[in-house]
Structure 1
């Protein structure tokens, strides 16, 4: 059974719109033709090519191999398309969304039936819809209840007509578990969640086998099913919760996989005999946690695992796919992912990309008896970027002031690195791009944001500061209690490295990021007000007390994690810490230009977070430009809104750092952009707003 436990835990708590050692080996290819010597020599890449709708995304094969599917625009809105696997040119749209569009979908084992998730205006109340591509007709909402966030727990080829879904319509904090009929939409209660279960593991016949439950001390209990009740089987201490988790059962239910950092630092993958409890080490790496895995679609046995330190590295465990993976690795120096595998495992849908190469999709037909198969290129995700002056991303290992290794990534403008060696020929302005979470990480790969900023003349530096995940529990836990403390020191140390290395100069550095990265931006302008020339905050919290008092109710399972890693607003000491580490408390220290972007429906970082800092600055006559989208949430999902905000940010950064910008022009068309405050702070913004007709689509 495919375990589809949606990521609703602490690891994505504040992640949103936004990974890169000196002299590290890289597979970046040298640019062809004469190397540009000035920014003007480099072709300006249109924002539409970078941030507009991709031509195709999320390409998959159905489990029976009959259909090829993808997400692509219909009249400018992303919808699901389906074609016979033998004839991609015969594709037809099978959904009819005209508003936010569809961003994720997957096939069931019922022939011709797929599912997709959709929220309203970015509120993250994701409903689950079913589409029968054979029978046709409109999509069916399988979770038609208000204020409900669906969690898909299991899909099994042994139960092709049903699936397991968690729904929180009875209790907003906890998801009850249901079996849902794909044809009728009828739901049957499997378990009412009165035990505060955070996540379930069921076998291929939908029998409940394991579960996890958070504890008041921030740790986690691993539970095993015994008849109709749960009994505690294992204990995960607080310090291991972000790096230890159940990872699924094999088809026969005899093996439980677990990612585990207990009695070690980095998370290793183990196989546990469900009958005896014997535990076998499958793979480990002292540098980083075990991350991704490939499992046999028929047996659920893990066949390969990945570890991502500087770059993702795969290790094959099953010789049956060794030739296949070797064939895929030969596509190029970038990174390969397998989007889907048919149930008979004869056909794979493969995606390939590199930092300077947007995604391309391939069909892979496996060979006989372990021989390599046949690879057929299907589509480019963004053909508009073919031939454009995209640039490499360079992995780095930087050192913090107290000796910690900070895996980071540097992207340089093409004209600033003529010999393509990852070292700046002369200093250029730089954007410190801070990831969200903070319990997440930056990594190598294609990034429209990095390419956009580099094309506009800026070096881009992204830093995995302490508290980031993926590098072992010690590194993650080193961030506990260090918001606006050592986590911020790491960012400052990285900036100093860039100045000392000749990447940039100390007066030409901006800080920018989304979610926690937005918070880091506000911290940069309030706690270290002379370090950055300006800042761009996207959906970042300004007041940590109000942040923790307004989290979504279904975050209850990891709320204690939040309070122990930050501060507890239920105690006087916790309130004091949260107040002291809140940028709002130091708003009057801001002296550098600030651009804020916010979604009005953000369920994680409420609009009030941005409103508070804007009001505080306005009251003290401190200039700020505030961009608000009424049909967005935690980040800007609609391409029209994303392009609109980036058009504003581009002009803002040009004024601050002196790069270049593409005029706003018609970039607001189709967007819902509003600018409650500070339109005069960005060249051309006020005029563009005068001629703009707002288009709100939820």
Structure 2
């Protein structure tokens, strides 16, 4: 799969969008608004129908193309299955129950690597000896999984013995072989065809250092890269002399490049539009060379990097927003689209273009043609910077006369994508336009874009991006100015509180889910609490310093507090719903309750609901169903939307048991 799942090696889930792409028009926003207004009004669907639980997950193609392994979920239990590629062949259950949540194939297609939170197991579908636990994770040595060995059956593990970090290969039966050791923490590695560690990435202060194996033994440094996951090792070149890297070593946007053992860097592929980071990189499993590169910018695109692959992609003429898993004989394809609820997997013959359905994890789903499209667009910020956003509008309605809801993503160092969103689809189905700003500081648009906030996460530049994006849409005829709202979770909740207490009066209502009332205080709290926010060996406090948010800088803390919703609590006069999680591990619940108490004492039109047993980011479908009901109710009261249906009996019972209103 693409870069994002490279740590399981090259055999991750395969994705290929089948939905039709928007034409490459000069103004995608105007084209989208015209197209949606011409469509028929969508029927109103039951609220709970927007929330779906996957029945099949971690679907992966054997490198020899012989079959597809997957995990099936039944009643919360996972089982392991193998579906042969031959037409008409029945699926075979390999394990009735497994703790694995992700699986991957070895290069020889003989072994399935099964990843559970506390262990790694290997299974031979043919019954070869050696099946069983390959490693138990955690423990005194802090043993953790680094990835799949791309050439030899087994996995790469890292542990610590005293002051030394050690890189291991563990194969069938759990036999281990030491590959490298270092006084610096090992966070990534690329293994050569000879089974030795050819390149290793280490933590070096507030950066990462890539080292290469020297011909006479040992390692030598070849380059350093900025942290925040800006250079990832993908695999060695066929001659073992270089390593493929996804990173920004040759520019400010993440690209695909080759890094030689002497430090020379060669660009292989970058976004021709110079807009976004590379999103997906597919490697040929047998040769280990890059095969496909994909991007998810304003106009998504996919490029074949090998002569044969480029010709296949051109002949198939499929939509460009793609990630693919391939073998020489077949490709595994997963539909992916904002309007597709649930997943379907296909086998595609790259020679003929013939495709047949292999797996379908959802018997009942909402009709895609009646759901909302997502359009990526840009707008100019007041300081001249180009900012990105996503928009969905109800079909068949005049967008100028519908309520507009701005949904701010969390992080803030993350981004929204154009995949299915239950919240977005419900709101659009109820007649709201939904705007999701990808403000500066968001990931996916290059290093300069991510660092452009320059620590201004109070009521500053980032917040202005969000509010200016809302005003830009209103000026373009999207949304009724008298019926606007803002909502979000985590940092998105913080932004909601900012917008409602900074005097802008832009929004008429807000929903803040697990929000930090003082972003600076919460960042400092998180930085001193263990491994919270740790990324590739980089502690959160180091990342915060890179982002001009040094948690030890008193001036930064004081500025963020002065601009915080907590310091401006008396200015909150807009209807607000707060939702807190009882087991929140990222935003202390006491800080949210304290903020709510201040609002109550001041007579603000705000209420708080506490989800007793939920973490910071709930995965419980019942919690999602409850949050959708609360959002629909809140916006109906304050924006004049459609009145929500009463909760179903099971949801009502869950809410009575799990939610506390104060």
TM-score, normalised via structure 1 length:
0.78
Write the distance in 1 (CA, Å) between the matches of 2:649 and 2:71.
Answer: 25
1:355 aligns with 2:331: no
Write the distance in 2 (CA, Å) between the matches of 1:354 and 1:2.
Answer: 17
Write the distance in 2 (CA, Å) between the matches of 1:52 and 1:450.
Answer: 14
Write the distance in 1 (CA, Å) between the matches of 2:481 and 2:157.
Answer: 52
Aligned residue in 2 for 1:220: 208
Q: Which stretches of structure 1, 4 residues or longer, exceed 6 Å deviation after superposition?
A: 25-34, 136-139, 147-150
Contact persistence 1:542–1:612 (CA under 8 A):
no
1:374-408 residue CA offsets vs partner (Å, 9 max, x unmatched)? 32123445452353621222222211111111221
Contact persistence 2:146–2:187 (CA under 8 A):
no
1:643-682 pair list within 5 angstroms: 643-660=625-642, 661-668=644-651, 674-678=658-662
Write the distance in 2 (CA, Å) between the matches of 1:591 and 1:174.
Answer: 56
Question: Post-superposition shift, 1:488?
Answer: 0.7
1:84 aligns with 2:74: no
TM-aligned CA distance change 1:68 to 1:222, over 3 Å: closer
1:489-523 residue CA offsets vs partner (Å, 9 max, x unmatched)? 00110111122222213332222223332332232
1:422-458 residue CA offsets vs partner (Å, 9 max, x unmatched)? xx2x321121111233222333343333212101221
The match for 1:466 among 429, 440, 458 is: 440
Write the distance in 1 (CA, Å) between the matches of 2:285 and 2:469.
Answer: 43
1:164 aligns with 2:156: yes
Aligned residue in 2 for 1:534: 509
TM-aligned CA distance change 1:387 to 1:252, over 3 Å: same
Contact persistence 1:512–1:536 (CA under 8 A):
yes
1:20-51 residue CA offsets vs partner (Å, 9 max, x unmatched)? 98445879996899823xxxxx4222344321
Aligned residue in 2 for 1:11: none
Write the distance in 2 (CA, Å) between the matches of 1:547 and 1:111.
Answer: 45
Aligned residue in 1 for 2:12: none
Write the distance in 2 (CA, Å) between the matches of 1:573 and 1:557.
Answer: 24
Write the distance in 1 (CA, Å) between the matches of 2:296 and 2:146.
Answer: 26
Write the distance in 1 (CA, Å) between the matches of 2:622 and 2:464.
Answer: 36
Question: Post-superposition shift, 1:348?
Answer: 1.6
Write the distance in 2 (CA, Å) between the matches of 1:273 and 1:187.
Answer: 28
Write the distance in 1 (CA, Å) between the matches of 2:376 and 2:73.
Answer: 34
TM-aligned CA distance change 1:30 to 1:46, over 3 Å: same
1:331-377 residue CA offsets vs partner (Å, 9 max, x unmatched)? xx573332x334xx21221112333344432101333xxxx443212
TM-aligned CA distance change 1:302 to 1:577, over 3 Å: same
Aligned residue in 2 for 1:295: 283
Aligned residue in 2 for 1:434: 408
Aligned residue in 2 for 1:235: 224
Aligned residue in 1 for 2:59: 59
Write the distance in 1 (CA, Å) between the matches of 2:652 and 2:126.
Answer: 36
The secondary structure found in structure 2 opposite 1:466 is: coil
Aligned residue in 2 for 1:35: 40
Contact persistence 2:2–2:279 (CA under 8 A):
no
Aligned residue in 2 for 1:494: 469
TM-score, normalised via structure 2 length:
0.82
**Over aligned residue pairs, what C-alpha RMSD do you find?**
3.9
TM-aligned CA distance change 1:192 to 1:325, over 3 Å: same
Higher normalized contact order (CA 8 Å, seq sep 6+, divided by chain length): 1
Write the distance in 2 (CA, Å) between the matches of 1:197 and 1:578.
Answer: 35
Aligned residue in 1 for 2:558: 576
Aligned residue in 1 for 2:112: 114
The secondary structure found in structure 2 opposite 1:384 is: coil
1:154 aligns with 2:147: yes
TM-aligned CA distance change 1:300 to 1:181, over 3 Å: closer
The secondary structure found in structure 2 opposite 1:531 is: coil
Question: Post-superposition shift, 1:228?
Answer: 6.6
Contact persistence 2:59–2:69 (CA under 8 A):
yes
Question: Post-superposition shift, 1:588?
Answer: 3.6
Aligned residue in 2 for 1:421: none
Question: Post-superposition shift, 1:149?
Answer: 8.1
Aligned residue in 2 for 1:452: 426
TM-aligned CA distance change 1:482 to 1:664, over 3 Å: same
1:505 aligns with 2:480: yes
Contact persistence 1:57–1:71 (CA under 8 A):
yes
Write the distance in 2 (CA, Å) between the matches of 1:150 and 1:519.
Answer: 36
The match for 1:636 among 590, 604, 618 is: 618
Q: Which moved more, 1:494-503 or 1:276-285?
A: 276-285
Question: Post-superposition shift, 1:637?
Answer: 1.5
1:136-151 pair list within 5 angstroms: 140=133, 142-145=135-138
Task: Extract unaligned runs of 5+ from structure 2.
Answer: 9-21
Write the distance in 2 (CA, Å) between the matches of 1:204 and 1:522.
Answer: 54
Task: Extract unaligned runs of 5+ from structure 1.
Answer: 8-19, 37-41, 120-125, 418-423, 679-698
1:294-350 residue CA offsets vs partner (Å, 9 max, x unmatched)? 2111111112222332132112221111233235433xx573332x334xx212211
Aligned residue in 1 for 2:18: none
Aligned residue in 1 for 2:169: 179
TM-aligned CA distance change 1:643 to 1:165, over 3 Å: farther
Write the distance in 2 (CA, Å) between the matches of 1:606 and 1:128.
Answer: 33
TM-aligned CA distance change 1:589 to 1:30, over 3 Å: closer
